[in-house]
Amino acid sequence: MTSVALSSIAGVLLSLLFSYVPGLNTWYAKLASEYKRLLMLGLLLVVALGVYGVSCLGWFATGVTCDKAGALALLQAFAMAAIANQTAYSLSPQTAATKEARREGKYSRGDDL
């Protein structure tokens, strides 16, 4: 599996977790859009760095090497994960609990990612 595929899958899984896991989805829905974006980007960066780390340690063949070319592949994987994450979040339907939490959220302005 390539680093881009692995990171994209992780981006989609993060999006689905924050959309459907009870408790987590309502907590996330109450956040302001800016914080949602920053949180997701931070988590995706952790995933991308994790892919790079396991590849450099030789634990998992991701196609990323521990050199300049590998760092560029890491950047590509991060970008693809962010795209997959935002696409999955915008396409996944909101649960009733998420809609209610968004309305009740004192920090949310009602706007989506």
- Residue 65 in any domain: the answer is yes
| Domain count of the fold of the chain | 1
- Residue 23 in any domain: the answer is yes
For the stretch 6-63, pLDDT in tens is 777 877 888 888 888 888 888 888 888 788 888 888 988 887 787 778 778 877 776 6
Res 108 pLDDT > 50: no
Which residues span the domain enclosing 81? 3-104
CA atoms within 13 A on the CB side of 24: 9
Residue 39 Cα to chain centre, angstroms: 8
- Residue 111 in any domain: the answer is no
DSSP state letters, 19-73: HHSTTHHHHHHTS-HHHHHHHHHHHHHHHHHHHHHHHHHTSS--S--SSHHHHHH
- Residue 37 in any domain: the answer is yes
| Strand, helix or coil for residue 113 | coil
- Residue 109 in any domain: the answer is no
